[in-house]
Chain A
Amino acid sequence: MIEYDVLVIGGGLAGMSAALHAGEVGASVAMVSKVYPTRSHSAAAQGGINAALGIEDSWEVHAYETVKGSDFLGDQDAIEILCRDGIQDVFALEHWGVIFDRNEEGNIHMRGFGGTDKSRTCHVGDMTGQTILHVMYERLLRMNVKSYDEWFVTTLLMEEGACCGAVAMDITSGKLEVFKAKAVIICTGGCGRVYEPSTNGLIVTGDGLSLAYRVGALLMDMEMVQYHPTTLPANGFLITEGARGEGAYLLNSEGERFMQEERYGATTLEEKASRDVVSRAETIEIQEGRGIDGCVLLDCRHIKDRILEAFHQISELAIDYAGVDITQDPLPIRPGMHYMMGGIKTDIDGRCYRHNGDGSEPLPGLYSAGEAACVSAHGANRLGGNSLLDCVTFGRKAGVHAAEYASSINSPNISEAVIEVEEQKIVDLFARSTNERAPALRLEMGEIMHTFTGVFREEAGLLEAERRIHAVRERYPEVSVHDKGRVFNTDLLAVLELDFMFDCAETIIASALARKESRGAHTRTDYPERDDENWLKHVAVYHTPDGPAVTYLPVTITKWQPEARQY
């Protein structure tokens, strides 16, 4: 049995931040990741990390714009922390060695991004996530934090109502081990692969959401799925919002800058409006016949110099996967699934919660941060540049609190026997000689989710999605594993991940069915208006034997009352 004070599951930006800070507070800490940490999907974040460093900017403006971006569903206590304390976190990253782009004075250069007319997105070319992730990893090496690379967590362990560890498989050998911990922090990222297509990497399968859900944790805001306005039709790859931030246009088939139209509510910020607003407008243009093969166009020709200077990655992607030189021609793009605003409900210290009577109570020992979590700093729609910040800031807070909690309790009591249950599950999977295959089922699930729970939703479609996902899940017991060996069995992992993804799909649908209004990324054609009177509250779901059950939690409002949202 392996024992630590704090066990961090997931080795992306949130996980690293949590592990670093838990370690700094003095806890014994280990990070478990199903890939080498630098492979984590944080690396794919291109555009940047927000911090109100400019003299014409302030954390309050950043916070207000984040609240507005969230369509007033974000919890304002969390947003204040994100925008105020996050500034020091960005400076800390800089001190650790992140090579942020500079202005002429040698200070951090900030670019424009969506949902604001300020320039507050600190960046490293268009490889910001990769750089921060690597610098953070190097910091972990410096601090000698133990990292279990290529280990896959199969279940969390509970003792007397508290989380006290996990069972994980060493992917290289296929052997299971018990990890005993006083506190567990889930930082496994989102669940992009539940959708097809998605900008997310193949590893983003919602493992942590499901692990927490199965031990009783509440999942919150799961209906809030972000479609990014600029993804490549060929394979769903992301083209950074930074391009529009620096002035790129969106054009329809008539060559019109449609974001200037009154009806999209963004006559001031135009292409730089929030992602939900732009993705909706693009979808309407395409639906009304002003698209080109299901796309609209991203026009970067007039900002050619900036593209050549600071957007190497997207230039390459456009040439490789669309055959377009973006300095010469407009690039066909469309909205694509990108980010999960919802996740494991936490408070500002990263503590997870469970359903209790009419409300909720902390689930001792369990923490979460980053995209896996929902502290609700993003509410119904996340601003670009806020997710890296979320990972670093709330990763830190979760790490510190978990370490302090761990120092206050005794070592939990768990028996090695829990391994046998998990081992038996795998043996049973190997014994199946049925014909269903995990990738085929995942693809079906992804297409159902994209069709019925995408940019626009309505009751009949959501019920259809519920029925179809249920039908696909019913075939799960027929899924077989071709590779019967234990060494680096990626076939087995695909089957285990698929099971996790079904939980995510079901909770997304249940939450989307529950919210009978349109807010942020959740647009119900049958309830087209925002309804603050009835729906200024979070939808949360918890696991029951009959599937997800819905409950509601209040929205924390500190300074900013809901108002009409115009960009």
Chain B
Amino acid sequence: MIEANLKVYRYDPQTAQEPHYDTYEVKELPDFATVLDALIKVREDIDGTLAMRCSCRSAVCGSCAFRVNGHAKLGCKTKVSTLAPDGEEICVEPMGNMKVIKDLVTEMDIFWDKLKQVKPWIETVGEPPEREYQVPAAKMVELQQPMNCIMCGACVSDCTVLEEDSKFLAPAALAKAYRVVGDPRHGKTKEWLTDLSEEGGIWDCTRCLECVEVCPKDVAPMDQIIKLREQAIEEGLTDNIGAKHVLHFTESVAHTGVLDERMLPIKAAGWGWAVKNAGIAIKATLKGKIKPLLPGSHPSVTEVQDVRRIHEELEEGKRK
């Protein structure tokens, strides 16, 4: 038997303006008890006013994502003994990036709205076959990773881009988008990728890795976003800052063996942007922070032939 010392975020809009924290000593928990088990015991035996969502207790329904010690976790997949081997206090708060309804219950509308925005269904083209579509076994297995998402919202809670930009589609919806775009039965790949390349879409992820870190089902949303980017470029959807950034990066390295950072923003955002921001560039040049943009100011590295050869081989590999 173990104990859990919980510090739980409490907020009741009907009686209080501000949230507060309550602490609970939960005794006589089984050794394998999870944070959710401890919270259920609070609700059942100590304080019936605590509101939270939960159902399956085995990480398939996706109800019980909370912030535990500052990071989004599934309550039912987080063991008390791992988190607090010596009875340390465990802080449980509602998910971030969402409005709190009561205690640990957040408004999930933002999650479902974004999901709807990516059109999370496949559109087949033509009459379906009489039986199943024949598709490669490996492809279906690959799609299990994004399909494994239980829509708990943990990645949306801790997404650092969404914190700054409410338009960002956020990791869960984008991972789901790959589940659709990556499906060989889906007939409208380019249409979907075009929408996903808009502002708030695949190019707005800063690759901070937070979603990969917090996902309780190893969906690795960021990896799915990267796959979408690769596919978008393959489809020729390169008329946006994100894709141009990637293309110039590659081009610059392949050509000279080293990235020309001065040209990166110009190539990505365009000359119009460069003219508008010329003042900053001139100041930086005068202060010696960047080298002036003159012919020959970005020489190739000595082993550039090797870099080009590696690049060629990689491109060749991709074509295969």
Which A residues form the contact surface with B (CB < 8 A)? 35-36, 38-41, 43-44, 53, 91, 94-97, 99-109, 124-125, 127, 129-131, 134-135, 138-139, 141-142, 172, 201-203, 234-235, 237-238, 313, 316-317, 320-321, 323, 437, 439-440, 481-483, 485-491
User: Do B137 and A485 touch (CB < 8 A)?
Assistant: no
Q: Which of B102-124 contact A (CB under 8 A)?
A: 102-103, 105, 108, 112, 115-116, 119-122, 124
Residues of A within 8 A of B63 (CB): 35-36, 39
- 7 tightest Cβ-Cβ pairs between the two chains A and B: A482-B48, A106-B134, A439-B44, A102-B137, A201-B55, A483-B49, A97-B122
Q: Among the listed A107, A127, A437, which residue makes an inter-chain contact with B144, where contact means beta carbons less than 8 Å apart? A: A127
The chain A residue sitting closest to B48, CB to CB, is: A482
Distance A17 CA – B99 CA, assembled complex (angstroms) = 32
Residues of B within 8 A of A104 (CB): 137
User: Do B57 and A201 touch (CB < 8 A)?
Assistant: yes
B140 interface residue, CB < 8 Å from A?
Answer: yes
User: Do B135 and A106 touch (CB < 8 A)?
Assistant: yes
B260 interface residue, CB < 8 Å from A?
Answer: no
Interface window among B147-155, B160-168, B227-235: B147-155
30 contacts between A and B (CB under 8 A): A35-B61, A38-B62, A39-B56, A39-B62, A41-B56, A44-B61, A91-B128, A96-B121, A97-B121, A97-B186, A106-B135, A107-B132, A109-B137, A127-B147, A141-B120, A141-B121, A202-B55, A234-B30, A317-B58, A320-B77, A321-B32, A439-B43, A439-B44, A481-B48, A483-B49, A483-B51, A485-B12, A485-B102, A487-B14, A487-B51
Distance A443 CA – B151 CA, assembled complex (angstroms) = 30
User: Do A96 and B57 touch (CB < 8 A)?
Assistant: no
The chain A residue sitting closest to B150, CB to CB, is: A130
User: Do B183 and A99 touch (CB < 8 A)?
Assistant: yes
Distance A491 CA – B12 CA, assembled complex (angstroms) = 14
Q: A139, A141, A317 — which one has the most chain B CB atoms within 10 A of its CB?
A: A141
A518–chain B nearest beta-carbon distance, Å? 32
B304 interface residue, CB < 8 Å from A?
Answer: no
User: Do B12 and A487 touch (CB < 8 A)?
Assistant: yes
Chain B 160-193, CB within 8 Å of chain A: the 1/0 string? Answer: 0000000000000000000010010110000000
User: Do A102 and B56 touch (CB < 8 A)?
Assistant: no
Q: Which of B129-143 contact A (CB under 8 A)?
A: 130-137, 140-141, 143
Q: Among the listed A43, A102, A485, which residue makes an inter-chain contact with B60, where contact means beta carbons less than 8 Å apart? A: A43
Q: What's the count of A-B pairs with C-beta under 8 Å?
A: 164
Residues of B within 8 A of A124 (CB): 140, 144, 147
User: Do A106 and B137 touch (CB < 8 A)?
Assistant: yes
User: Do B101 and A172 touch (CB < 8 A)?
Assistant: yes
User: Do B61 and A43 touch (CB < 8 A)?
Assistant: yes
Distance A547 CA – B36 CA, assembled complex (angstroms) = 37
Residues of A within 8 A of B143 (CB): 99
A140–chain B nearest beta-carbon distance, Å? 9
Distance A40 CA – B56 CA, assembled complex (angstroms) = 9
Q: Which of B65-111 contact A (CB under 8 A)?
A: 77, 79, 101-103, 105, 108
Residues of A within 8 A of B144 (CB): 99, 124-125, 127
User: Do A138 and B121 touch (CB < 8 A)?
Assistant: yes
Residues of A within 8 A of B148 (CB): 127
Q: Among the listed B48, B54, B58, B128, which residue makes an inter-chain contact with A491, where contact means beta carbons less than 8 Å apart? A: B48
Residues of B within 8 A of A313 (CB): 60
Distance A256 CA – B132 CA, assembled complex (angstroms) = 42
Known: A36-B108, A38-B151, A439-B44. 20 other contacts (CB 8 A): A36-B63, A43-B56, A44-B61, A94-B132, A94-B133, A95-B124, A95-B185, A97-B183, A101-B137, A102-B137, A105-B134, A109-B137, A127-B148, A130-B150, A138-B120, A172-B101, A203-B55, A238-B58, A440-B44, A487-B12
**Interface SS of chain B:** loop
User: Do A44 and B51 touch (CB < 8 A)?
Assistant: no
Distance A552 CA – B164 CA, assembled complex (angstroms) = 64
Distance A488 CA – B13 CA, assembled complex (angstroms) = 11
Q: B45, B137, B185 — which one has the most chain A CB atoms within 10 A of its CB?
A: B137
Q: Among the listed B54, B116, B131, B134, which residue makes an inter-chain contact with A202, where contact means beta carbons less than 8 Å apart? A: B54
Residues of B within 8 A of A139 (CB): 121
Which B residues form the contact surface with A (CB < 8 A)? 12-15, 30, 32, 43-45, 47-49, 51-63, 77, 79, 101-103, 105, 108, 112, 115-116, 119-122, 124, 128, 130-137, 140-141, 143-144, 147-148, 150-151, 180, 183, 185-186
Q: Given A35-B55, A101-B141, answer yes or no on A483-B61 (Cβ-Cβ < 8 Å).
A: no
A147–chain B nearest beta-carbon distance, Å? 10
Distance A32 CA – B298 CA, assembled complex (angstroms) = 64
Q: Given A486-B14, A488-B102, answer yes or no on A320-B79 (Cβ-Cβ < 8 Å).
A: yes
User: Do A141 and B116 touch (CB < 8 A)?
Assistant: yes
Distance A40 CA – B62 CA, assembled complex (angstroms) = 10
Distance A422 CA – B289 CA, assembled complex (angstroms) = 73
Residues of A within 8 A of B13 (CB): 487
Residues of B within 8 A of A439 (CB): 43-45
Q: Given A91-B132, A142-B119, A491-B48, answer yes or no on A43-B140 (Cβ-Cβ < 8 Å).
A: no
A129–chain B nearest beta-carbon distance, Å? 8
The chain A residue sitting closest to B58, CB to CB, is: A237
A17–chain B nearest beta-carbon distance, Å? 16
The chain A residue sitting closest to B218, CB to CB, is: A312
Q: A38, A317, A437 — which one has the most chain B CB atoms within 10 A of its CB?
A: A38
B301–chain A nearest beta-carbon distance, Å? 44
Q: Given A94-B132, A134-B147, answer yes or no on A201-B43 (Cβ-Cβ < 8 Å).
A: no
Distance A317 CA – B79 CA, assembled complex (angstroms) = 13
The chain A residue sitting closest to B44, CB to CB, is: A439
Residues of B within 8 A of A141 (CB): 115-116, 120-121
Q: A96, A172, A490 — which one has the most chain B CB atoms within 10 A of its CB?
A: A490
User: Do B51 and A490 touch (CB < 8 A)?
Assistant: yes
Residues of B within 8 A of A44 (CB): 56, 58, 60-61
Distance A142 CA – B57 CA, assembled complex (angstroms) = 30
Residues of B within 8 A of A125 (CB): 144
B214–chain A nearest beta-carbon distance, Å? 17
Distance A150 CA – B254 CA, assembled complex (angstroms) = 55
Residues of A within 8 A of B185 (CB): 95, 97
Distance A197 CA – B106 CA, assembled complex (angstroms) = 29
B166–chain A nearest beta-carbon distance, Å? 21
The chain B residue sitting closest to A92, CB to CB, is: B128
The chain A residue sitting closest to B134, CB to CB, is: A106
B181–chain A nearest beta-carbon distance, Å? 12
User: Do A130 and B48 touch (CB < 8 A)?
Assistant: no
User: Do B137 and A103 touch (CB < 8 A)?
Assistant: yes
User: Do A102 and B51 touch (CB < 8 A)?
Assistant: no
Residues of A within 8 A of B49 (CB): 482-483, 485, 491
Q: Given A95-B124, A96-B122, A106-B135, answer yes or no on A489-B56 (Cβ-Cβ < 8 Å).
A: no
Residues of A within 8 A of B116 (CB): 141
A434–chain B nearest beta-carbon distance, Å? 13
Distance A329 CA – B232 CA, assembled complex (angstroms) = 46
Q: Among the listed A106, A142, A482, A488, which residue makes an inter-chain contact with B121, where contact means beta carbons less than 8 Å apart? A: A142
The chain B residue sitting closest to A46, CB to CB, is: B60
User: Do A127 and B60 touch (CB < 8 A)?
Assistant: yes
The chain A residue sitting closest to B186, CB to CB, is: A97
